[in-house]
Chain A
Amino acid sequence: MTATPWKAPKLDAKLKIAIHDKMVLSRATEEMLIRMMRTGHGYFWIGGPGEEGFNVPLGLLTKKGHGPDYDYLHLHYRSSATILAMGSEPIDMLRQMRSTATDPYSKGRNFVNHFAIKPWNVVPVTPTIETQYATVIGTAHMQRRHGGDGLSYVTGGDAGSAEGDFWTCMNWSTRPDHELPVLILLTQNQFGISTPSSQTQNNRHLNERANGFGIRNACVDGNDPIASFHAIVEAMEYVRHERKPYCLQANVSRLYGHSSSSGANRYDEPDCIAPYEQRLIRENLMTQAEIQAVWDKHNAQLAEDLQKVIAEPMPGKEHVLQHVWHEGPAGN
């Protein structure tokens, strides 16, 4: 039995409001994670506040499910808005932030925003920021063989695109007669930790690197969720139907720096949420009061979630040797 073919949803008023809801949820969650780090409820924070304008539409457009009929996600650690847009529970991110034994993504073993969700084809996120470009070709290879319209997408930053696996991805996905359905995503936030892109790259758009491989590519303002939505639809339609790679760069902000290692303080960069809210008001889709209610709703729920998570058990000696080996039958 194959899955229902993917079809881009209509970007109507309801969806625009839903996008806002998920953007606020993502921002509120990330800000809660930062507060947790500051108040001793977690060791280290790294995440994606500032990328919601691109990552929420991406999550909403993902063909969600398990197996090659659905999209495989090779994410990096700034992809929280994508996962939340797909319907994950924010409390699970709080669990991973606090490193509880109840953390469903890693049982307290990995940093926050390092997901692993097999029912949704979200393969384990690693901090290498490059290996995802190498693994994406494997799931796409299986999808090419399987048929259907499922694709594999990979996200990485401008810094990670300097790694060799980025070039591996483009080379392997354009082998003659073996093109792969890979959507290569580059979120350009202008920094690799503290190093500005201007010191490490030429000033051309990163997506233009794909020209050398004959890969169709584009660049979009990732702070504009409507433009991002349309750009992702165009890219996904191409990859799903042509079964060939596409490279899409999104220019985004990094509102709280690289991680808690640099303080996680708010930086003066464009914020994708505020102008989007003004747009919704201008289009008479929401009022200021309704917008505020969205923030209040999510912040209240997150505060409640935190109290719950604080009471949950932490990993102990009995957890250390669990899952070193898989004991069941082979096959994901």
Chain B
Amino acid sequence: MANLAQAIRLALHYAEENLGVTDIFGEDVGAPLGGVFTATQGLKTAWNTPLDERGIIGMALGIAYAGGKPVAEIQFCDYIYNCIDLLKLCGNVTWSSAGEYHVPMVLMTPVGSGIHGSMYHSHSFESIATHIQGWKIVMPSNPKDAYGLLLSAIAEPNPVLFLAPKALMRQKGAELIPGEPADERTLHNLIDAPLGDRSDWQPNWPPVEDYRVPIGEAKIARAGTALTVVTYGRMLPVSVTAAETLAKEGVEVEVIDLRTIYPFDLPMVKASVEKTGRLLVINEDTEVTNFGEHIIRKVMDEAFYSLEVKPELLAGLDVPGVGLAWGYEQNSVPQQDDVLAAMRRLANERA
């Protein structure tokens, strides 16, 4: 099974060949490294840029203006903050020009904690991103969804922010990507660059096929009736693990993998809450003006009378960063025990 970084690479390769991608670029994105997580290794349109995030996004927007199809990368979302006005511009071009121009571009960036990344390699970005209008925002939790979401993002005529949960980059999937070799060693030998000198290396791409995860479509990762958990990215497998633990206690939790953060799949969330009467939103971002608050507000608007207990948000503490020492991350970002405790309490709370 491909891991998440390999899935991104396979999707980009497919898109180079079939979806008109003209440029994949960012700092360290091209040879020899192919991305700090190797997600762009061996791609024929990948190239290295100056260490200049504003230039990277400006380049992407210019390529889109000129009829190209760019996939740009900001190496870590923590380094995107000096580009907020360019992100705003990308998102408002279609509206401000009354439809004269549009912006078919994809911006990829790794997000979240879980790799001992300290202050500038651990932050989340989705809550801020959802306040920059005109963008669609996706975040996969597994390799097959990463493949399908990225192909949908590349085919989308509007700007799409592809948030990659960095802690899951080496996680293998449970399902094969269409066309992926069944044996992961075979896949490794085909598409992973060797260590050391790789100047003569070329990937041998497997015949991966078209597979799309529609933007705006969530997935029920685990069905249940006692509680609805809405989550995405790194918190998805954590939530599923907790739900499996609770199942042994006779509590069946429904876990929804949002996959698209904006525009999110409100109908699926609403239907689930109408079934369970309970809602817990889980993510890693800091808790103040967290996107989970918006999800809860929409549920309050549309399914208030289905709620049996008050909805809750489990998110990161509102502190300026994720500290390097484990004691900081462990106590500021939701961990497995925190997720299990919150789910158990909410599922069992007296209505």
Residues on A close to B: CB < 8 A? Answer: 67-68, 72, 103-107, 109-110, 114, 116-118, 123-124, 126, 128, 131, 133-143, 152, 164-165, 168, 171-172, 175, 322-332
Q: Nearest CB to that of A152 among chain B residues?
A: B62
Query: Taking the nearest CB of chain B, how far is it from the CB of A158, in angstroms?
Result: 20
A145 to chain B, nearest CB (A): 8
Complexed CA–CA distance, A114 and B52 (Å) = 27
Q: How far is the CA of A328 from the CA of B156 in the complex (A)?
A: 10
B101 touches which of A104, A116, A138, A175 (Cβ 8 Å)? A116
Contact B65 A123 (CB under 8 A): yes
List 21 A-B pairs, Cβ < 8 Å.
Answer: A103-B98, A105-B98, A109-B95, A116-B96, A124-B100, A126-B96, A134-B86, A135-B62, A136-B58, A138-B58, A139-B65, A140-B62, A141-B62, A172-B52, A172-B55, A175-B50, A323-B98, A323-B99, A327-B157, A330-B157, A332-B64
- Could you tell me the distance between the alpha carbons of A238 and B200 in the complex, rounded to whole angstroms? 38
Assembled-state Cα–Cα distance A124/B102 (Å) = 10
Apart from A140-B62, A171-B52: 11 A-B pairs, beta carbons within 8 A: A72-B65, A134-B54, A135-B62, A136-B58, A141-B66, A142-B68, A323-B98, A323-B99, A324-B134, A325-B134, A332-B66
Q: Is A326's CB under 8 angstroms from B98's CB?
A: no
Residue pairs across A and B with CB atoms within 8 Å: the count is 154
Give the shortest distance, in Å, between A74 (CB) and chain B (any CB): 8
Which B residues lie within 8 Å of A322 (CB)? 98-99
Assess the A171–B157 pair: CB atoms within 8 A.
Answer: no
8 nearest A-B pairs in the assembled complex, by CB-CB distance:
A138-B62, A134-B58, A326-B102, A116-B97, A330-B104, A107-B98, A142-B66, A330-B157
Judging by beta carbons under 8 Å apart, are A325 and B158 in contact? yes
A interface footprint on B57-69 (CB within 8 Å = 1, 0 otherwise): 1111111111111
Q: Is the CB of A68 within 8 A of B62?
A: no
Evaluate contact between B156 and A171: CB separation under 8 angstroms: no
Nearest B residue to A315 via CB reads B98
Chain A, Cβ-Cβ closest to B83? A134
- Tell me the complex Cα distance, A104–B98, Å: 8
What is the distance, in angstroms, from B83's C-beta to the closest C-beta of chain A?
9
User: Interface SS of chain A: helix, strand, loop or mixed?
Assistant: loop
Contact A138 B97 (CB under 8 A): no
A135:B100 contact, CB within 8 angstroms: no
- For residue B184, CB closer than 8 A to chain A, the reply is no
Contacts of B70 in A (CB 8 A): 138
- Give the most central of B64, B66, B134: most A CB within 10 Å: B66
Residue of A105, A138, A175, A329 touching B65 (CB-CB under 8 A): A138
Residues of B within 8 A of A107 (CB): 98
Q: Which residues of A contact B349 (CB under 8 A)?
A: none
Q: A171 to B66: give the CA distance in the assembly, Å.
A: 20
Q: Is the CB of B98 within 8 A of A168?
A: no
Interchain CB contact under 8 A, B95 and A138: no
Q: Which residues of B contact A68 (CB under 8 A)?
A: 66-67
CA distance A109 to B54 in the complex (A): 25
0 or 1 for each of B39-80: is its CB under 8 Å from A? (1 = yes): 000000000011010110111111111111110000000000
